Amino acid sequence: MKTFRIIGRNIRDAFKGVFRNFSLSFASISCITITLIVVAVSMVLSENVNNFTLLVEKDVTIVAFIDNDLEEKKIDEIKKEISKMSNVEKYEYKSKQKITKEMMESSEVFDSIMKNWDSSENPIQNTFQVKVKDINKINDTADKIKKLDGITLVKYGEGMIEGLISTFSFIHKICIGAVVALILVTAFLISNTIKITISSRQREIGIMRLIGASNLNIRIPFIIEGLILGILGSIIPIVLTIYGYQKLYDHFGGHLFSDFIKLIKPVPFVYATSVVLLSIGILVGMFGSWRAVKKHLKI
């Protein structure tokens, strides 16, 4: 019971502290809000870039063209060789008939041209379509496939893919760096803002000590106050993330520039981001208070 009463008192005092020193609390809250908005933007950007990279990686296929005169037995041998390669995730044999059919279905122009062609005139080759596990080793895998007997040509969008992926990974890294830097800067800023708040309440802390409050008695309400500031400061960023991202997603119809670059679906992404924002707000608020009040306890 006693513990509950003490906890209850601490929470009540913390709320009182927030509202009785509202101008300074407001400064801390604004500081948390602004940084968390920037953190939210960086997170959304970073996660989407990460998502694009995964999608691109999933989409990349090595197409190995097979000599059309090759016998079934030889094709089976190539199949075996490819299945043995460690970086191959899955592979599929596509006959030229199948490819032709697919292409005719997807394009009217192609359809009309091919209709006039005899099957012996079909210039399309039989292929193996190979997906790799590690996109960074795609070059090696493609080379190995190329060396197999009966393979005439290997294509996987070389150059372009590597460029795209390295660009994405660069952007992703920058975003993570920005998020980490922002969190540190916020913790420092909030610590300083709360320090000003607490300095102005040094008298109060002195009186508390005089009356016989232990360091913990004094520190806990301030730390809870930091927690409250963190929660209040993360409200606007969370609302912006949830509604803003949904709006953005709807505005672009779920993908950016082309169907190729898909945006992350808002649910549950925005909620996960909100939880992260709230946690950052709370931790940073509490840490800031703890650091600031520590200074005033050395009498």
Partner 1 sequence: MNVDLIRLTNVKKTYNTGVTAIRDLNLRITKGDFVFIIGATGCGKSTLIKMLYREEKPTAGQILVGGIDVGKLRNGKVYKIRRKIGVVFQDFKLLEKSTVFENVAFALEIFGIPKDEIHAKVVKALDLVGLKDKITSYPDQLSGGQQQRVAIARAIVNGPKLLICDEPTGNLDKETSKEIMAVLNEINKLGTTIIMVTHDIDIVKEMDKRVIELDSGRVLNDFERGTYR
Regarding 23 and contact with partner 1 (CB under 8 A), the answer is: no
Listed in order, strand segments (DSSP E) in the chain are 62-66, 88-94, 126-132, 151-155, 255-256, 261-262
Peptide bond into 266 cis (omega under 30): no
Query: To the nearest whole angstrom, how small is the minimum distance from the Cβ of residue 277 to partner 1?
Result: 32
Query: To the nearest whole angstrom, how small is the minimum distance from the Cβ of residue 208 to partner 1?
Result: 7
**Contacts of partner 1 in 140-169 (CB under 8 A):** none
- Render 109-138 in DSSP notation, one character per residue: HHHHHHHTS-GGG--PPEEEEEEES-GGGH
**Burial of 124: CB neighbours in 10 Å, binned 0-12, 13-18, 19+:** middle
Which region among 54-62, 111-119, 214-222, 233-241 touches partner 1 (by CB under 8 A)?
A: 214-222
Site size for partner 1 (CB under 8 A)? 23
Q: Find the binder of partner 1 among 98, 217, 255, 291 (CB under 8 A).
A: 217
Max alpha carbon distance in the chain (Å)? 101
The answer to whether the Cα torsion of 246, 250, 255, 257 is positive or negative is negative
User: Could you give the CA distance from residue 67 to residue 153 in angstroms, rounded to a whole number?
Assistant: 9
Please say which residue, 109 or 210, places its beta carbon nearer to partner 1.
210
Please list, residue by residue across 44-77, b when 16 or more beta carbons sit within 10 angstroms of its beta carbon and e when fewer do.
bbbbbbbbbbeebbeebbbbbbbeeebeeeebee
Query: To the nearest whole angstrom, how small is the minimum distance from the Cβ of residue 20 to partner 1?
Result: 5
Regarding 215 and contact with partner 1 (CB under 8 A), the answer is: yes
Query: To the nearest whole angstrom, how small is the minimum distance from the Cβ of residue 243 to partner 1?
Result: 37
Q: Find the binder of partner 1 among 30, 102, 160, 206 (CB under 8 A).
A: 206
Binding mask of the shown chain, residues 101 to 120, with x at each position contacting partner 1 by CB under 8 A:
--------------------
Q: Find the binder of partner 1 among 80, 120, 159, 212 (CB under 8 A).
A: 212
- Identify whether the C-beta of residue 294 lies closer than 8 Å to the C-beta of residue 232: no
Query: To the nearest whole angstrom, how small is the minimum distance from the Cβ of residue 198 to partner 1?
Result: 15
Q: Find the binder of partner 1 among 70, 183, 208, 283 (CB under 8 A).
A: 208
Which region among 31-39, 80-88, 132-140, 212-220 touches partner 1 (by CB under 8 A)?
A: 212-220
The neighbour count for residue 24, using CB atoms within 10 Å, is: 20
The neighbour count for residue 284, using CB atoms within 10 Å, is: 29
**Burial of 118: CB neighbours in 10 Å, binned 0-12, 13-18, 19+:** exposed
Please say which residue, 3 or 258, places its beta carbon nearer to partner 1.
3
Query: To the nearest whole angstrom, how small is the minimum distance from the Cβ of residue 296 to partner 1?
Result: 12
Regarding 210 and contact with partner 1 (CB under 8 A), the answer is: yes
Please say which residue, 22 or 243, places its beta carbon nearer to partner 1.
22
- Identify whether the C-beta of residue 293 lies closer than 8 Å to the C-beta of residue 223: yes
Q: Which residues contribute to the site for partner 1 (CB under 8 A)?
A: 1-3, 5-6, 9, 20, 203-204, 206-215, 217, 297-299
